[in-house]
Amino acid sequence: MNDTEARDFIRKIIYEDLASGKHDEIVTRFPPEPNGYLHIGHVMAICLDFGVAAETGGRTYLRLDDTNPGKESPEFVQAIKDDVHWLGFDWEDRLTHASDYFDRLYESAITLIEKGVAYVDSLTAEEIRDYRGTLTEPGKNSPHRDRSVEENLDLFRRMYEGEFADGEHVLRAKIDMASPNMNMRDPAIYRIRHIPHQNAGDKWCIYPMYDYAHGLSDAYEGITHSLCTLEFEDHRPLYDWFLDQLTPEHRPRQIEFSRLNLAYTITSKRKLKALVDEGVVAGWDDPRMPTISGMRRRGYPPEALREFVRRAGVTKKDKVIEMGALETCVRDVLGDKAERRMAVLRPLKVVLTNYPDDQVEYMEAMNHPGNPDFGTRDLPFSKELWIEQDDFLEEAPRKFFRLKPGGEVRLRFGYIIRCDEVVKDDAGNVIELRCSYDPETRSGTGTSDRKVKGTIHWVSRPHAVDAEVRLYDRLFNEANPSAAEDVHSVLNPVSLEIVEAKLEPSLADVDEAVQFERLGYFCPDFRDDAADARVFNRIVTLRDSWAKLEKQALGN
């Protein structure tokens, strides 16, 4: 653990609890609801829950909060497990479900009824909302609030046995309808849902509410510190009320911290699901999505996400972090470990008129300019090449140091070439450059001291690998898309551009992230089944082109 981590307020509490002897072991839990895919906001919680336990030799449970069967599925369960593992964390044998405790939760609900602090209410959902009051006006008691213990036990048993329709009755806690905390105004404990459960099957037709199940599940598992985001701060009195009423053997402590909010993203599962359902994106793992699955598919390294969370820090203060901060972490990791390769995204044909027709040379190229341990590779060089279209300008400004009519440029790891002729199609588009090369200027030979100001990358045309390259950018063009009345109005129209690229031969079978020199970091798309061409996703550009706009939008 480093000094920065030691200073955050949650770690301070935990280390004080260990030092005082309050706890011999730290036990935490990460409790996602399997109703969608995990996103960037969950990364903070995962790293915190698993991190503080690991630092102290403690344990962490991965508990699936599956109390709402209408929105949950095995697909989401598997995605959650895959994401947590990919981030580098292991729950070992501590995978649990809220549904594992349904029997105990049911018995605890009976205890609450027997104590006279829970009752079966027969108001409709709309009536319950009306009776609840507002932030400035107290609620009023349900006419069913004073049912006898015997009547409540009978009704609750019949709810369990499936006698009633959905919504016909609900079990509520009897607390205080005039409480200034809306969560304490007789909250629901159980509701009727005749829906099969993804883990429990058809056994149940009543399901516990989150606020009821969560704290008791913490107690059953011996959780010492229940770490939640700040929106649960107002729920803490209810969390403690259930523990006070039921006095479990173990009592956890809830502590809240600020959410990780990232500019240019939304993290509402409901809104993300809408984007998926409407076909705005190509699934939960679309590389433009802020989901962990989407970031993994895009090529973000897990260590970059962990570093991003570390730099963001754990605080009580709400904050919005620049997307550029996350992308910087990605660049920092990939800059050290990604090998360099050459690719041409928008090809322009170059013919070296004085190069032998059938000759092929192999140019030695460094795999990583900053680390000789990465070794070298051989690049085929021939009479016909591909270069980037924007590395040539027919009418170039004075300080344009790439290729132009009569101008010279060095081909990286190759020769100096001069543009002698420009070939155009009938529409006036440049389709080919006829150039000559200087055979005395091969890189690394030391046979010529001639120098030019520009160096560009290239790919040998006969040896090129065809590929579809997907240029991903931010899904939204507003820093706070959640504030928009309609998120469709702030979608970035160029969040995805697909180009047909030409790659050097070594990229035919690469299976990890690489840097396309001068262009950015890219990785193979591991979900694409295209048979006729490789597919690469752009992970991140080499430089942050949004930095100035983002700082202005966030007032930095």
- In tens, the pLDDT along 146-166 reads 999 999 999 999 999 999 999
Average pLDDT over residues 405-418: 96
pLDDT greater than 90 at residue 185: yes
Please indicate whether residue 147 is annotated as part of the active site: no
CATH code reported for the domain at 3-257: 3.40.50.620
DSSP E strands in 280-429: the ranges are: 320-321, 339-341, 343-344, 347-352, 361-366, 376-381, 384-388, 408-411, 416-424
Quick one: pLDDT band at residue 282, thresholds 50, 70, 90? very high
Q: Report pLDDT for 6.
A: 54
- In tens, the pLDDT along 481-538 reads 999 989 999 999 999 999 999 999 999 999 999 999 999 999 999 876 555 679 999 9
**Phi then psi dihedrals of residue 488, to 5 deg:** -65, -25
CA gap 445, 394 in Å, rounded:
31
CATH code reported for the domain at 269-339+470-500+521-554: 1.10.1160.10
DSSP string, 30-60: E---SSS--BHHHHHHHHHHHHHHHHTT-EE
Q: Which amino acid is at 69?
A: P
Q: Report pLDDT for 528.
A: 62
Q: Report pLDDT for 554.
A: 56
Nearest CA among 233, 3, 221 for reference residue 94: 221
The ranges of the chain annotated as CATH 1.10.1160.10 are: 269-339+470-500+521-554
DSSP 543: S
**b/e per residue, 423-460, with b = 16+ CB within 10 A?**
eeeeeeeeeebebbbbeebbbeeeeeeeeeeebbbbbb
Nearest CA among 80, 78, 68, 88 for reference residue 31: 80
CA gap 498, 475 in Å, rounded:
15
- In tens, the pLDDT along 441-467 reads 999 877 677 889 999 999 999 999 999
CB 34 within 8 A of CB 97: no
Q: Give me the catalytic one of 33, 151, 303, 432.
A: 33
Q: Which amino acid is at 66?
A: D
pLDDT greater than 70 at residue 31: yes
| Strand 361-366, strand 376-381: pairing | antiparallel
The ranges of the chain annotated as CATH 2.40.240.10 are: 343-457
CA gap 475, 128 in Å, rounded:
39
Q: Give me the catalytic one of 63, 185, 269, 461.
A: 269
For 125, the token pair is 């959902």
Work out the burial of residue 21: count CB atoms within 10 Å of its CB; fewer than 13 is exposed, 13-18 middle, 19 or more buried.
Answer: exposed
CATH code reported for the domain at 343-457: 2.40.240.10
Q: Report pLDDT for 217.
A: 98
Report the mean per-residue pLDDT for the chain.
94
Q: Report pLDDT for 367.
A: 97
- In tens, the pLDDT along 198-236 reads 999 999 999 999 999 999 999 999 999 999 999 999 999
For 163, the token pair is 């006698």
- In tens, the pLDDT along 385-398 reads 999 999 999 999 98
CB 133 within 8 A of CB 185: yes
The ranges of the chain annotated as CATH 3.40.50.620 are: 3-257
pLDDT greater than 80 at residue 5: no
Please indicate whether residue 33 is annotated as part of the active site: yes
Quick one: pLDDT band at residue 1, thresholds 50, 70, 90? very low
Q: Report pLDDT for 444.
A: 83
- Using a pLDDT cut of 90, give the percent of the chain over it: 91
Q: Give me the catalytic one of 71, 145, 259, 349.
A: 259
**Phi then psi dihedrals of residue 501, to 5 deg:** -110, 165
Q: Report pLDDT for 450.
A: 85
Quick one: pLDDT band at residue 14, thresholds 50, 70, 90? very high
DSSP string, 464-508: PEEEEEEEE--SBSSS-GGGSSSGGGGB-TTSEEEEEEEE-GGGG
